């Protein structure tokens, strides 16, 4: 899965800090195999979270964690656009 967050002008630092705060606790979640944060080189206000989960059930549990609600509250008004793409590995 790839989640893309486009920060509003002047909010890139807050968005990055909020996303960084998710890294360690999310990596400790049951079923999390990979949880990586990237920033687009050409646009410092666009962030990508690359997630890999052992099974769909683990991915389903992930958004229900209390820290996800905290993230939503913290980033309210700071994220211009958020998109999520679930991917299927081909090779």
38: domain CATH number is: 3.30.70.100
Domain count, the chain: 1
Q: Is residue 22 part of a domain?
A: yes
Only one residue has tokens 């962030």, namely 47
CA-wise closest residue to 46 among 86, 74, 14, 12: 12
**CA–CA dist 45, 54 (Å, integer):** 30
The per-residue pLDDT for 72 is: 83
The per-residue pLDDT for 68 is: 76
Residue with more model confidence, 37 or 75: 37
42: domain range?
2-85
Judged against a pLDDT cut of 80, whether residue 50 lies above it is answered with yes
Q: Is residue 91 part of a domain?
A: no
Judged against a pLDDT cut of 80, whether residue 75 lies above it is answered with yes
Judged against a pLDDT cut of 90, whether residue 61 lies above it is answered with no
**CA–CA dist 22, 2 (Å, integer):** 15
Q: Is residue 78 part of a domain?
A: yes
Q: Is residue 57 part of a domain?
A: yes
């Amino acid at each position: 899965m790839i989640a893309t967050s486009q920060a509003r002008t002047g909010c890139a630092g807050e968005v990055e800090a909020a996303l960084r705060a998710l890294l360690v606790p999310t990596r400790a979640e049951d079923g999390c195999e990979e949880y990586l944060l990237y920033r687009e080189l050409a646009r410092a206000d666009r962030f990508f979270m690359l997630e890999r989960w052992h099974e769909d059930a683990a991915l389903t549990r992930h958004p229900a964690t209390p820290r996800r609600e905290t993230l939503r509250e913290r980033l309210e008004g700071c994220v211009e656009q958020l998109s999520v793409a679930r991917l299927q590995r081909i090779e």
